Amino acid sequence: MVNFGKRLMADQLEEWKEYYINYKMMKKKVKQYVQQTQNGGRDREQVLKEFARMLDDQIEKIVLFLLQQQGHLASRIEKLGEQRALLMEQSDPSQISELREAYREVGIDLMKLLRFVDMNATGIRKILKKFDKRFGYKFTDYYVSTRANHPCSQLQQIFKQVGIVAVVGALSRNLAFLQDHQGNFPSIYDHPSITLKDPIIEQINHSVQKLTHATNLLQFIGQHALIIPEDMQSGSDDLVDDQSYHFMSLLLNLANTFLYMVNTYIIVPTADDYSVSLGAAATVCGVIIGSMAVAQVFSSVYFSAWSNRSYFRPLVFSSIMLFLGNLLYALAYDVNSLAVLIVGRLLCGLGSARAVNRRYISDCVPLKTRLQASAGFVSASALGMACGPALAGLLQTNFKIYGLTFDQNTLPGWIMCLAWITYLFWLWISFKEPDHIVRENSVSTPSSDSGHRRNSSLEDGLAQPFLIDAKERLDENGEDNDDNEEDPEDSHKPATSLAAAYRLLTPSVKVQLLIYFMLKFAMEILLSESSVVTTFYFNWSTSTVAMFLAVLGLTVLPVNVIVGSYITNLFQDRQILVASEIMVLIGISMSFRFTSHYSVPQYVSSALITFVFAEVLEGKRDSKQECAESQHQHGH
């Protein structure tokens, strides 16, 4: 495939050549900046300011030309409007036909302008990505957030195309009027559902829709729940269209996410009592709660590989494993076995299909719906985290049926058994395997390359930031980045072992994974020992502990919204991460008992600070985790 720089040179209009983004010059500048900063000749802050000014100049050149061309088109439409008013009085069909063709000629020139904007928007996006990749710095977040929301923003012209859409509206209205020279054709503004059947307008609308998808992606870079990759293309590059998209299957994936999070946290308020009732120490509840997370490490591997061939079968297997795990958890009391209890929780962890849920959204949901689906995934997780402890607080009862005990310890297991068997029935009758999975499974291919063929362009985009090359690798559109010192094929070889995959991780990613482990470690300690600590120091009841944990869970969604929508636009990722790590450290330090009196406000405030800022850290790293999972899928 031709790289973007060559494609830009080949596709640009000769008469507009000087107004396109000078992509080749900017690429050379980026390379020079890297060499200068590595040699110590340039300060990084100076480079960032200079590159921002250079990009500002390029965008200003593009936007001023764009406005000029919009003005020319508007003038032509205005003159044609005057002719239309005269012709309506004469009612000459031949002249009306000529006038309609004149409007269509304006439409053809408008499509040229749309292509001009599309090429330049792609160039801006790619040069920002290249700068980030070369410098290991989220310059794109800073640049887009500061320029797009400024009252004097020139970037808004590329983001929203307000002037172009107005020209499209004028063309559509006049062509619709000329379809019936008597002028009684219904107005497109009074009847927005009416579609004008004109080939030029249809092509223009398609171009506008494609351009809107391409430019809107810039607004999502750096936000939470990044199931959407930054370079996902619209149009033909999307894996799924509206016809093949199945809403009920998406809903089943979100329900799986919700139920799994409920399953994880429903036992937290009562796990210490359960372990004591089986003859173990109260602190063994940490092992009971943590065993599910340990098993999830292994389940994410085989579920990621399995989802290459099917989504339905992994979800069925997940439901069965979770049903059996909860059944063992509930029966452990009556058989008086701590081992059965822990095995039950391990089975629940082996049924974690969150990797499948995330991948379904990225592969099987149309691009225009994917952002809402990603938000639904985050919301389902947060709601499940809150509902689990809250539900446990309501299960304060004790009775027996046919010798089986139903109390606050065993009821979470029985309730989740019922939930998963109901979910399995719903899954069996309602889930639809995606069309591209059905097509691939119907074609017999050699096993050696079947995994490679199943990897979509979306997965390639997600995996690339984790690969190390001497230079830069091919990008999503086949761009070779003009660095030809190395065979491009070498940069795409998949990892064949865990050791090989580890070597492919950059040092910064290794550090982030270590921090991610530590924050999860801190969160699990906070949650698993909450009932032990609060009972020992404050004599809290199970219901009180449950409500406290539910309130903590409810903070997840608003925290992610605030960080993704506001904080990310004000500060760099590095600043947010460092500040969050410091606050987590403060929260953990506050949880220690330094005096003879350990108060409820001290514990609650320390728990809130630790949990909230650990969630901020997890939110900023969630996209990294998804990238890692996608990278593992490439290895299969």
pLDDT digits (tens, 9 = 90+) for 361-387: 888 888 767 777 887 887 888 889 889
Tally the domains of the chain: 3
The answer to the question of residue 412 being in a domain is: yes
Token pair of 332, please?
């452990």
* Phi, psi (degrees; rounded to nearest 5) at 231: -115, 20
CA angle, residues 343, 344, 346, in degrees to nearest 5 = 60
Judge if 163 and 312 occupy the same domain.
no
So what's the pLDDT on residue 313? 93
Which of 183, 162, 190, 187 is closest to 173 using CA atoms?
187
The answer to the question of residue 455 being in a domain is: no
CATH number at residue 50: 1.20.58
Report d(CA 565, CA 576) in Å as an integer: 13
Average pLDDT over residues 64-79: 89
Judge if 202 and 269 occupy the same domain.
no
Which of 427, 424, 458, 413 is closest to 262 using CA atoms?
413
Flag whether pLDDT at 34 surpasses 80: yes
Element (H, E) at 406: strand 404-407
Q: Which residue has the higher pLDDT, 447 or 260?
A: 260
Helices (H), 399-442: 411-430, 435-442
pLDDT digits (tens, 9 = 90+) for 243-259: 567 889 999 999 999 99
Flag whether pLDDT at 636 surpasses 80: no
Flag whether pLDDT at 149 surpasses 70: no
pLDDT digits (tens, 9 = 90+) for 193-249: 545 566 777 777 776 666 665 555 444 333 333 334 444 443 434 445 555 678 899
Average pLDDT over residues 99-115: 87
So what's the pLDDT on residue 135? 78
Most confident of 133-137, 495-499, 585-589: 585-589
So what's the pLDDT on residue 46? 84
**This prediction's pTM:** 0.58
The answer to the question of residue 140 being in a domain is: yes
In this prediction, what percent of the chain has a pLDDT beyond 70? 72
So what's the pLDDT on residue 225? 35
Q: Which residue has the higher pLDDT, 326 or 12?
A: 326
Where is average pLDDT lowest: 56-60, 124-128, 132-136, 380-384?
Answer: 132-136
Judge if 221 and 251 occupy the same domain.
no
Judge if 217 and 261 occupy the same domain.
no
Report d(CA 384, CA 419) in Å as an integer: 13
Judge if 139 and 269 occupy the same domain.
no
Report d(CA 321, CA 624) in Å as an integer: 27
The answer to whether residues 611 and 550 touch, using CB atoms and an 8 Å cutoff, is no
Judge if 213 and 272 occupy the same domain.
no
Based on DSSP, count helices (H) and strands (E) in the chain, helices before strands.
27, 2
pLDDT band at 267 (very low <50, low <70, confident <90, very high): very high
The answer to the question of residue 232 being in a domain is: no
Judge if 285 and 415 occupy the same domain.
yes
Judge if 249 and 203 occupy the same domain.
no
So what's the pLDDT on residue 315? 95
Flag whether pLDDT at 489 surpasses 80: no
Judge if 426 and 519 occupy the same domain.
no
Q: Among 396, 416, 432, where does a domain finish? A: 432
Report d(CA 505, CA 511) in Å as an integer: 10
Judge if 278 and 361 occupy the same domain.
yes
The answer to the question of residue 492 being in a domain is: no
Which of 508, 517, 507, 530 is closest to 618 using CA atoms?
517
The answer to the question of residue 487 being in a domain is: no
Helices (H), 529-572: 530-538, 542-554, 556-562, 568-570
Judge if 140 and 202 occupy the same domain.
yes
So what's the pLDDT on residue 453? 38
So what's the pLDDT on residue 211? 62
Judge if 125 and 172 occupy the same domain.
yes
Supply the range of the domain harboring residue 312.
245-432
CATH number at residue 324: 1.20.1250.20
The answer to the question of residue 489 being in a domain is: no
CA 380 to chain centre: 14
So what's the pLDDT on residue 259? 95
The answer to the question of residue 556 being in a domain is: yes
